Amino acid sequence: MSHDHPIQVMLFAGAEAAVGKSRIVLGLSAPAAIEQIAAQMLQEYPALSGLLPRSRFAVNNQFVNNDHVVKSGDDIALIPPVSGG
């Protein structure tokens, strides 16, 4: 079996502020569905409970649905409600 590749998620704005980090490493390895990743994030970082349910996920710079399965090496980002413009 290959080594564990723990899933990492990039955080921005209010999410980064809530956790105090711009990148979190989860106790979960790929492959995993976004749904599982979200649940794991809430468990490990309860400070995200306010923003996470209102946020979307992006994998490799594209928005994905909750059933999207993340592979080892994918770039994952939590995208809280945006406020550009």
Partner 1 sequence: MIDIVDQKIDCERLLQAVADDACGAVVLFIGQTRRWTGEVFTAKLNYIAHEAMAKTLLEELRTVAIERWKVSHVAIVHRIGEVPVGEASVAVAVASPHRDAAFEAAKWLIDTLKKDVPIWKQEFDADGKAVWVHPDEKASI
Which of helix, strand or coil describes residue 17?
helix
**Considering the complex, what minimum distance in angstroms separates the CB of residue 52 from partner 1?**
11
**Considering the complex, what minimum distance in angstroms separates the CB of residue 7 from partner 1?**
17
> Phi and psi dihedrals of 4, rounded to 5?
-60, 135
Site string for partner 1, 39-68 (x = CB under 8 A): ------------x--x---x--xxx-----
- CA 75 to CA 62: how far, in whole Å? 10
Interface with partner 1 (CB under 8 A): 10, 12-14, 17, 51, 54, 58, 61-63, 77, 79-85
